[in-house]
Chain A
């Protein structure tokens, strides 16, 4: 241990080590005794005397050890510490290092994941905008009649369910002619004859609900409204539909469960007739 210290000193004294060792020798103390007194490892004492700063911890500790060693030996601590500081070329406090800055965060907040998320979100927005632009505008035909004839009401003849067919047919003839002829050109008259119970929804182009109820067996409904008229039937096959006096075949719209949804308009009716 002692030899180590000497070995370093041969390269030229640069710190307070030689003074410490001389003073210790003068007092006749061994490295072990000093180490016990200062509660330090003998290696640390040897490193202090050998100015071997690589083997010593941060400057704050070394300065503390030097101060206590000097006090023990009766040396001026300030001078030793000043020599030490010169020896290591000035004491700067150890840099504060933030470990978090070095590594990547383990969270969805890290950049590649974020980038992908943003791209997906952007794509979704673009697709919504495209769909909005490309989707067909609502039929212009439907809009005009509403403004022109707001007062006209589609005539819904709705005889109470268990009424016999004869009576049901008689009623529309009594009431319909009053309103219908005036609106003849644009109004579409539709007649439903139910041969079995079926839910029915009939809405015309202006959005007016012409019929919305459960129609019992044998019921006959005549409605008129602005074409095209949207029809939904819960039990389509046993219903006979007549549009403006022409029979309409709804069989091709019937889906599973006998449900049918279709539009009745001028063109649809014509297509059906052909």
Chain B
């Protein structure tokens, strides 16, 4: 009763709880929050435990730059919760920030996107942490479905549509027809693995250690998935392992392409397996119209080119691929109200 009263002052939210970024879509307002999924925790023995120092963008700036009593952690790993309590606190912070109303504690209905391959335990953890963060009711939707809806694919048609969502922790490929997933697979390869591959490459070939943030900057600026005509360069600084002091050095895009080969081949392999497993009728639909790329990984230069060459099918990048999942969840949420409970995309 009290919850429903508080619900009156809260607006329904769709949350893309990603490994790298958390996005919140509010009904009627669009994407209202886009922050890194990072929490900084300060140890305070005097107050008997840990306190949240910063969440989101502020916390990300601290990543790898914290003193002994602060730890900046990413509570999600591979698309699922690795640290339950911290995830709950982070969600609580984001939901309050999204509402911006401090008088009433918000109690919205929340739709959370979960990776396709997530287990019952992982889903329950996500559901309970959202409830702990103040959600009145929690619905779960599978990420590839949300991504397809958000990209604007005609998911209700009796035709196969293939979507590839490359997120921070996982990549999901799915074939969708008649509002349902015909085939889907999730590989635990995503933007994070690209960063790790770059770090490993630089350590191996330059004998230099770089941080995650630097690796991500390299990926954004010169990373590419397919050899291009122009070669771009970037100057970065890292700790030289033999000298033990920071040194500057230059990397070019071909080197990064080489570094990314292993994770990229994992994603290409997943797409090829999906095409193999797709029923032939739907496969021909996919071949005719193409594969749609969403998620942050779609922004890697020439990612579409790589998949086109590898599969021989047309590949298109969705508009604003980073927010596809959150927007798709939001549209499913709108549908929920229109049809009063009939909810074929999500699980209650």
Proximity bits, B131-155, A CB within 8 Å = 1, else 0: 0000000000000000001011111
Evaluate contact between A38 and B314: CB separation under 8 angstroms.
yes
User: B344 contacts which chain A residues (CB < 8 A)?
Assistant: 98-100
Q: What's the nearest-Cβ distance from chain A to residue B13, in Å? A: 18
- A contacts, CB < 8 Å to B: 38-41, 57-61, 63-65, 67-68, 91, 93-101
User: B312 contacts which chain A residues (CB < 8 A)?
Assistant: 39
Given contacts A65-B314, A93-B331, A98-B342, 11 further A-B contacts (CB under 8 A): A38-B308, A39-B315, A41-B288, A60-B151, A61-B290, A64-B316, A67-B317, A96-B331, A98-B335, A98-B339, A99-B179
Evaluate contact between A94 and B179: CB separation under 8 angstroms.
no
User: A63 contacts which chain B residues (CB < 8 A)?
Assistant: 316, 319
Evaluate contact between B153 and A96: CB separation under 8 angstroms.
no
Given contacts A64-B292, A98-B342, A99-B178, is CB(A58)–CB(B152) below 8 Å?
yes
20 contacts between A and B (CB under 8 A): A38-B314, A39-B290, A40-B290, A40-B314, A57-B289, A61-B289, A61-B314, A64-B292, A65-B314, A67-B317, A68-B316, A91-B152, A93-B152, A96-B179, A97-B156, A98-B156, A98-B339, A99-B344, A100-B342, A101-B339
Given contacts A96-B149, A96-B335, is CB(A58)–CB(B154) below 8 Å?
yes
> B32 on the interface (CB 8 Å rule)?
no
Evaluate contact between A60 and B179: CB separation under 8 angstroms.
no
Evaluate contact between A67 and B339: CB separation under 8 angstroms.
no
User: A68 contacts which chain B residues (CB < 8 A)?
Assistant: 304, 314, 316
Given contacts A96-B156, A100-B342, is CB(A65)–CB(B313) below 8 Å?
no
Residue of B nearest to A58 (CB): B154
> B176 on the interface (CB 8 Å rule)?
no
Q: How far is the CA of A193 from the CA of B334 in the complex (A)?
A: 87
Evaluate contact between A58 and B153: CB separation under 8 angstroms.
yes
Q: How far is the CA of A40 from the CA of B308 in the complex (A)?
A: 10
Given contacts A65-B316, A68-B304, is CB(A94)–CB(B339) below 8 Å?
no
Evaluate contact between A60 and B342: CB separation under 8 angstroms.
no
The 9 closest A-B pairs by CB, nearest first: A64-B316, A97-B156, A93-B152, A60-B152, A94-B154, A57-B289, A39-B314, A58-B154, A40-B314
Q: What's the nearest-Cβ distance from chain A to residue B34, in Å? A: 20
User: B314 contacts which chain A residues (CB < 8 A)?
Assistant: 38-40, 61, 64-65, 68
In B283-308, which residues have CB < 8 Å from any A CB?
288-290, 292, 304, 308
Residue of A nearest to B327 (CB): A93
> B259 on the interface (CB 8 Å rule)?
no
> B332 on the interface (CB 8 Å rule)?
yes
Among B149, B179, B317, point to the contact of A64 (Cβ < 8 A). Answer: B317
Q: What's the nearest-Cβ distance from chain A to residue B308, in Å? A: 5
User: B290 contacts which chain A residues (CB < 8 A)?
Assistant: 39-40, 61, 64-65
Residue of A nearest to B308 (CB): A39
> B318 on the interface (CB 8 Å rule)?
yes
Given contacts A60-B152, A60-B318, A67-B317, is CB(A96)–CB(B289) below 8 Å?
no
User: A98 contacts which chain B residues (CB < 8 A)?
Assistant: 156, 179, 335, 339, 342, 344
Evaluate contact between A60 and B156: CB separation under 8 angstroms.
no
Q: How far is the CA of A100 from the CA of B156 in the complex (A)?
A: 11
Interface centre among B308, B316, B331, B344 (most CB of A within 10 A): B316
Q: What's the nearest-Cβ distance from chain B to residue A188, in Å? A: 65
Q: How far is the CA of A64 from the CA of B291 in the complex (A)?
A: 10
Proximity bits, B312-343, A CB within 8 Å = 1, else 0: 11111111000000000001100100010010
Q: How far is the CA of A63 from the CA of B154 in the complex (A)?
A: 14
Evaluate contact between A39 and B156: CB separation under 8 angstroms.
no
User: B155 contacts which chain A residues (CB < 8 A)?
Assistant: 94, 96
Q: What's the nearest-Cβ distance from chain B to residue A107, in Å? A: 14
Given contacts A41-B288, A94-B153, A99-B178, is CB(A60)–CB(B319) below 8 Å?
yes
Q: How far is the CA of A76 from the CA of B312 in the complex (A)?
A: 25
User: B149 contacts which chain A residues (CB < 8 A)?
Assistant: 96
User: A58 contacts which chain B residues (CB < 8 A)?
Assistant: 152-154, 289
Q: How far is the CA of A97 from the CA of B331 in the complex (A)?
A: 11
User: A94 contacts which chain B residues (CB < 8 A)?
Assistant: 152-156
User: A96 contacts which chain B residues (CB < 8 A)?
Assistant: 149, 155-156, 179, 331-332, 335
User: A64 contacts which chain B residues (CB < 8 A)?
Assistant: 290, 292, 314-318
Residue of A nearest to B179 (CB): A99
Q: How far is the CA of A101 from the CA of B179 in the complex (A)?
A: 13
Q: How far is the CA of A65 from the CA of B3 in the complex (A)?
A: 48
User: A99 contacts which chain B residues (CB < 8 A)?
Assistant: 156, 178-179, 344
Q: What's the nearest-Cβ distance from chain A to residue B7, in Å? A: 24
Residue of A nearest to B156 (CB): A97
User: B156 contacts which chain A residues (CB < 8 A)?
Assistant: 94-99
Residue of B nearest to A91 (CB): B152
In B171-225, which residues have CB < 8 Å from any A CB?
178-179
Evaluate contact between A60 and B292: CB separation under 8 angstroms.
yes
User: B315 contacts which chain A residues (CB < 8 A)?
Assistant: 39, 64
Residue of A nearest to B150 (CB): A93
User: B339 contacts which chain A residues (CB < 8 A)?
Assistant: 98, 101
Q: What's the nearest-Cβ distance from chain A to residue B175, in Å? A: 15
